[in-house]
């Protein structure tokens, strides 16, 4: 069959530009197809459920390469999927095995209406999300002033513009100080995520919250007259949830509220967040943004980048980067093979991959050997991984030994980010190869930056190494008591030098702390240099269970003490030089 000259020219142009013929509901773009949600019936600002239309548009992306899912400006209403057997609502958009897709928000706003994840991505690669705003209606928490506190309930006078509502669960009670606009643990800090008894309206504007005695901190009732926030759900529902994905880019995205975490990644590779703002909606009169962490990454690889982001008003951490829960040796099968399992009941440990380097340690968490994975199988009955190694295991290897996987933790680069008024911590680092620079952290309830790992509580791995924290400002961080005592702190349950290695803290400004400014524990190799520290109510710098520490060129004022060396230190390897106020 002969081709006409026009067809030949069309095909040639397509090959040169990467632009192909228009398909149904699509417009030809350079190197891809534009899919408009409007073509599938998603009409902004009409108050109708736009979820089915957006799902249809996403499905159209599945059959094409290099797609752009495009929203017109305006507001879209989003509903959850039907409940699963667990009674939890399914994600609004469950996206699996799609590659090379861009979600172009064009300034659109998506409003979630259920306690469910909005976007769940599984097995996807090269996903870009741009220029989008996400909010929730109703907001998944209620603020108020305590008017009665009894053994089994708390009554609050709800603060405008919120209203008292019946039938809502009490997932947690958190204190709040309206003068400083900070969440306050000292008023109350109570969690009861699995308690089903719901709220009642006992008189106009007054909401009764029923209290379980089985929650975390169950003895801490909020005082009458103080303000609290009741979160109706705390965890389990994200805005953007990624699992086994690679090449994630999120830029110019606002998240004002959601009933869980903002952005999560589990067993992913290479995640980039730029100009992401997880914050209290301006002018809303709200007290918080996300009900839990702004971001959380578990068992990821490659590099996580955060640049010029804002994290404000979260009910938990700004970010937590970890390698998953520690595993333990369940059985020594021979001198090069182990059965291992997740150490925490109900926890998650990523499956080791061939070529991974696993670290074995005792309860002190200091590795005694690193071995290379040769093969992995899973024993469904025993719920264990059977791992064969290329190396011979030491004779000391025994059941109960701790297993960490440094291959399942990413490098991290955080630059120019701001954290404001969060109930949890700032950056939690259980990973390796990290640079945090030119950031501002202000009014963070607990630590600004924490490197902590343990085998008696959270079990999140792994010991941190090669951490650089430089040119940052910490203002009134760690302003309330918490198990993390420093604005910048390393700690481990094993309390032995060498769990954390090669930490550099330099040229930072640290103003105010109810504890220490810098607290180094369980470390081998740390440099604390050129920092300006003012107003630490406890010792400005406290070092314990550590060795090979250099403290140089720091200036300390208005603190209880300059430098204090605690138990477990090799004092001969702690060097002080050219400091002021130590």
* Residues belonging to the chain: 582
Q: Would you call 129 exposed, middle or buried from its count of C-beta atoms within 10 A (0-12, 13-18, 19+)?
A: buried
Segment 185-199 shows an average pLDDT of 88
| Last residue of one domain, picked from the residues 190, 206, 231 | 231
Assess whether 526 and 485 both reside in one domain: yes
What would the pLDDT profile of 242-253 be if each residue is shown by its tens digit? 999 999 999 999
454 with 566, same domain: the answer is yes
Question: At 219, is the pLDDT very low, low, confident or very high (cuts 50, 70, 90)?
Answer: low
* Per-residue pLDDT tens over the stretch 117-133: 999 999 999 999 999 99
Within this chain, do residues 537 and 462 fall inside the same structural domain, yes or no? yes
Q: Are residues 469 and 572 in the same domain?
A: yes
Q: pLDDT tens across 512-558, in order?
A: 999 999 999 999 999 999 999 999 999 999 999 999 999 999 999 99
Q: What is the mean pLDDT of the chain?
A: 92
- Does 426 map to a domain? yes
Instruction: Please indicate, yes or no, whether residues 358 and 504 belong to a single structural domain of this protein.
Output: no
**What domain range includes position 171?**
141-231
Q: What pLDDT score was predicted for residue 21?
A: 37
Helix (H, G, I), strand (E, B) or coil at 417: coil
To the question of pTM greater than 0.85 for the whole model, the response is yes
Nearest to 510 by CA among 550, 558, 546, 465: 558
Residue 187: which H helix or E strand, with range?
strand 182-191
Q: How confident is the model at residue 86 (pLDDT cuts 50, 70, 90)?
A: low
3-state secondary structure 111-176: EECCCCCCEEEECCEEEEEEEEEEEECCCCEEEEEEEEECCCEEEEEECCCCCCCCCCCCCEEEEE
Sign of CA dihedral 223, 228, 233, 236: negative
Summarize pLDDT for 39-82 with one digit per residue, the tens. 999 999 999 999 999 999 999 998 788 999 999 999 999 999 77
Q: What is the mean pLDDT of residues 139-160?
A: 96
Boundary of a domain, candidates 200, 231, 262? 231
* pLDDT number for residue 212: 85
- Model pLDDT for residues 331-360, shown as the tens digit of each residue: 999 999 999 999 999 999 999 999 999 999
Domain count, the chain: 4
Co-location of 370 and 339 in the same domain: yes
Do 165 and 223 reside in the same domain of the chain? yes
- pLDDT of 193 reads 83
pLDDT digits (tens, 9 = 90+) for 276-316: 999 999 999 999 999 999 999 999 999 999 999 999 999 99
CA dist 298 and 266 (Å) reads 5
d(CA 295, CA 311): 9
- 5 part of a folded domain: no
Mean pLDDT within 426-455: 97
Q: What is the pLDDT of residue 11?
A: 34
Q: Are residues 173 and 65 in the same domain?
A: no
Sign, CA dihedral 21-24-26-32, equals: negative
pLDDT at residue 471 is higher than 80: yes
Residues 418 and 513 in one domain: yes
Query: Do residues 516 and 429 share a domain?
Result: yes
CA angle 452, 453, 457 (to 5 degrees): 115
SS3 192: coil
Q: Are residues 116 and 261 in the same domain?
A: yes
The CATH code of the domain that includes 337 is 2.40.30
Q: Which of 344, 373, 407 is the last residue of a domain?
A: 407
Query: Is 4 within the bounds of a domain?
Result: no
Q: Does residue 12 fall inside a structural domain?
A: no
Residue carrying structure tokens 């994600």 = 91
Co-location of 95 and 198 in the same domain? no
Compute the distance between CA of residue 144 and CA of residue 170 in angstroms, rounded to an integer. Answer: 13
């Amino acid at each position: 069959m002969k081709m006409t000259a026009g067809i030949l020219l069309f095909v040639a142009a397509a090959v040169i530009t990467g632009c192909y013929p228009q398909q149904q509901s699509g417009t030809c773009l350079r190197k891809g197809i534009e899919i408009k949600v409007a073509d599938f019936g998603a009409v902004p600002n009409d108050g109708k459920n736009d979820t089915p239309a957006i799902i249809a548009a996403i499905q159209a992306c599945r059959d094409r390469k290099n797609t752009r899912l495009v929203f017109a400006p305006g507001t879209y209403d989003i509903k959850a999927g039907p409940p699963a057997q667990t009674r939890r609502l399914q994600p609004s958009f469950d996206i699996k095995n799609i590659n090379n897709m861009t979600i172009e928000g064009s300034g659109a706003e998506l409003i979630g209406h259920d306690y469910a994840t909005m976007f769940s991505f599984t097995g996807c690669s090269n996903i870009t999300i741009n220029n989008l705003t996400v909010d929730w209606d109703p907001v998944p928490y209620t603020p108020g002033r305590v008017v009665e506190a009894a053994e089994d309930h708390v009554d609050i006078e709800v603060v405008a513009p919120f209203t008292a509502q019946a039938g809502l669960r009490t997932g947690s009670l958190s204190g709040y100080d309206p003068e400083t606009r900070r969440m306050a643990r000292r008023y109350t800090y109570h969690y009861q995520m699995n308690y089903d008894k719901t709220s009642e309206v006992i008189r106009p504007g007054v909401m009764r919250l029923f209290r379980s005695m089985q929650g975390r901190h169950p003895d801490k009732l909020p005082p009458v007259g103080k303000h609290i926030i009741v979160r109706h759900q705390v965890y389990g529902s994200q805005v953007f949830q990624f699992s086994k994905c690679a090449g994630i880019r999120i830029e110019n995205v606002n998240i004002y509220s959601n009933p869980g975490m903002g952005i999560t990644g589990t067993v992913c590779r290479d995640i980039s967040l730029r100009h992401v703002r997880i914050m209290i909606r301006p002018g809303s009169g709200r007290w918080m943004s996300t009900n839990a962490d702004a971001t959380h990454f578990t068992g990821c690889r490659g590099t996580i980048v955060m640049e010029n982001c804002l994290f404000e008003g979260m009910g938990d951490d700004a970010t937590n980067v970890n390698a998953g829960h520690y595993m333990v040796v369940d059985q020594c099968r021979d001198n090069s093979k182990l059965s291992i399992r997740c150490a925490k009941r109900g926890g998650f440990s990523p499956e080791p991959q061939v070529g991974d380097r696993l670290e074995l340690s005792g309860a002190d968490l200091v590795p005694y050997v690193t071995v290379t994975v040769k093969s992995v199988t899973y024993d469904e009955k025993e719920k264990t991984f059977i791992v064969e190694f290329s190396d011979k295991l030491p004779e000391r290897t025994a059941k109960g030994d701790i297993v960490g996987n440094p291959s399942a933790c990413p490098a991290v680069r955080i630059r120019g980010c701001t954290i404001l008024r969060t109930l949890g911590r700032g950056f939690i680092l259980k990973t390796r190869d990290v640079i945090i620079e030119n950031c501002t952290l202000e009014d963070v309830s607990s630590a600004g930056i924490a490197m902590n790992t343990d085998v008696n509580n959270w079990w999140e791995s792994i010991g941190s190494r090669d951490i650089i924290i430089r040119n940052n400002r910490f203002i009134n961080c760690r302003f309330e008591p918490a198990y993390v005592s420093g604005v910048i702190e390393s700690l481990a349950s094993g309390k032995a030098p060498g769990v954390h290695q090669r930490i550099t803290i330099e040229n930072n400004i640290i103003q105010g702390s109810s504890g220490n400014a810098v607290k180094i524990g369980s470390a081998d190799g740390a440099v604390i240099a050129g920092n300006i520290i003012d107003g630490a109510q406890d010792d400005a710098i406290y070092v314990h269970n550590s060795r090979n520490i250099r403290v140089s060129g720091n200036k300390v004022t208005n603190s209880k003490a300059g430098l204090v060396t605690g138990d477990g230190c090799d004092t001969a390897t702690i060097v002080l030089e050219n400091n002021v106020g130590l």
